[in-house]
A and B are shown apart, each in its own frame.
Chain A
Amino acid sequence: MSDRPRLVRRAHPFTLFAVTAGVAALAFALPAPAGPIALYAVVVAAALLTGAAASARDATLVCLPLWVLLLLLHALPGDGATVALRSVVLSRAGLAVALAQAARLGAVATASLALFRSFDPSRFLDAVAVRGWSFHAAYLLVATLQAAPRFRQRAATILEAQRARGLRYGGGPLRRARALVPLALPLILGMLGEVDERAMALETRGLDARGPRTPLAPPRDRTADRVLRWGMLLLVVAACAWRWLA
């Protein structure tokens, strides 16, 4: 909990999802290239102000290779009107496409990584229970987030165990592809083997129980949260309308 952004972690779980979805919609609805670039600047500034600077840094690391590839694919051919950056000649239109797309990716990645860093599975389940929404759908998301690290650990254990038993996976691509079966099969069969055990555990904990669920400590839905959610929706609608009218 301590590594979660200070201000963001106090927000209602649905507010974080609404803001992330809104940023993604705005990234594509705002006119390019100025719109996405301005949006990215606003998202980074918001991340810094709300204590989510690490998300902006991680998003930059995720996007950096994509930004380089965008420049290579769109701007470097240097067709049509050109811009000279020292000795490099770039296509003006290609550079605009690359900058707009780079800003879109940066804005969406920063917002969603801030969401991921502040995501608290139990608060999310409680918020879903308060609204009376499908518990099964929320459970699927939360159970997956909890199962993923466990399965990654299991995959690492299988890799070590098979290597200890003498499996060699160096050499040509065909030899490496052949090593897939002894590495992947135990992971998949192990997963299927424990399905019944988990199903029984879910059944005994009243998964099929009908009626409303009562969370012990539901997250507070403050006025600021509601204003932010509705404001985001209005912004997206306004951006779409402006784009359509223009």
Chain B
Amino acid sequence: MSPRLLALIPSAVAVNLAIGLVVNQLGLPLYLDTIGTVLTAALAGPLAGVITGVVSQTVRSLYEGFIWFPFAAVQVVIALLAALAARRAGFRSPATSAGWGLFVGLVAGAVSALISYFVFKGVTATGVTAVTILLTHLGLSQGQAVTASSVGTDLLDKMIVFLLVGVTLRALPLRVAGRFPGATRATRR
């Protein structure tokens, strides 16, 4: 692994963790805890993105008691799809970023629903579980309720993550973008 990648990944993971502070201040019903993963995958490729996602989930788990570690699989899926989006210039405009974000949100939500249902028996983050409980009381089965709440949350979250990463990549000074070949390809600059 190159020194540049070894310098980039811990910082990207730290962004994943620190962005929670911003989201809490804004009081938005989002996580945005994959910004660093998507950015690294777009800049340095799928492997770097996967490593960022797994390290991110490991460190978060260390802080919060390892119960959320199984969601590392969602980070891996997001990293792979973000790298694919970057390869196809998916960050060239706000519209393409939002489109890829919705697609990734759909897939990530489905994977997340499987983990929530089978590993956590439907109980994960407070807000998502509150929606799950509401939906089960409205007559949906537990599986349907978990899927609907997970996919619903992830669609919005990943769309905003992809929009933010798109804005960042397009705002990168050429001097910095030049050091990451993925940046120019992702935005077709």
Q: Is A224 an interface residue (CB 8 A)?
A: no
Interface centre among A77, A108, A176, A192 (most CB of B within 10 A): A192
Q: How far is the CA of A148 from the CA of B17 in the complex (A)?
A: 7
Q: Are A151's CB and B11's CB within 8 A?
A: yes
Q: How far is the CA of A73 from the CA of B172 in the complex (A)?
A: 46
Q: Are B18's CB and A148's CB within 8 A?
A: yes
Give which listed residue, A101, A196, A201, contacts B120 with CB less than 8 A. Answer: A101
Known: A72-B133, A112-B66, A159-B22. A65 touches B126 (CB 8 A): yes
Give which listed residue, B11, B21, B126, B160, contacts A159 with CB less than 8 A. Answer: B21
Specify which chain B residues have a CB less than 8 angstroms from the CB of A108 in the assembled complex. Answer: 65-67
CB nearest neighbor in B for A156:
B21
Specify which chain A residues have a CB less than 8 angstroms from the CB of B55 in the assembled complex. Answer: 140-141, 144
User: In chain A between 179 and 237, which residues have their CB closer than 8 angstroms to a CB of chain B?
Assistant: 179-181, 183-185, 187-189, 191-196, 198-203, 207-208
Interface centre among B67, B136, B176 (most CB of A within 10 A): B67
Q: Are B136's CB and A59's CB within 8 A?
A: no
CB nearest neighbor in B for A158:
B22
Q: How far is the CA of A50 from the CA of B179 in the complex (A)?
A: 50
Q: How far is the CA of A207 from the CA of B1 in the complex (A)?
A: 10
Q: How far is the CA of A77 from the CA of B32 in the complex (A)?
A: 33
Known: A69-B126, A112-B65. A199 touches B15 (CB 8 A): no
Task: Give the number of residue pairs across the A-B interface with Cβ within 8 Å.
Answer: 188
Specify which chain B residues have a CB less than 8 angstroms from the CB of A140 in the assembled complex. Answer: 6, 9-10, 51, 55
Min distance, Cβ B65 to any Cβ of chain A, angstroms = 3
Min distance, Cβ B163 to any Cβ of chain A, angstroms = 9
Q: How far is the CA of A111 from the CA of B69 in the complex (A)?
A: 14
Q: Are A62's CB and B164's CB within 8 A?
A: no
Q: How far is the CA of A111 from the CA of B32 in the complex (A)?
A: 28
CB nearest neighbor in A for B58:
A141
Interface centre among A144, A155, A193 (most CB of B within 10 A): A144
Interface centre among B26, B65, B66, B69 (most CB of A within 10 A): B65
Q: Are A151's CB and B121's CB within 8 A?
A: no
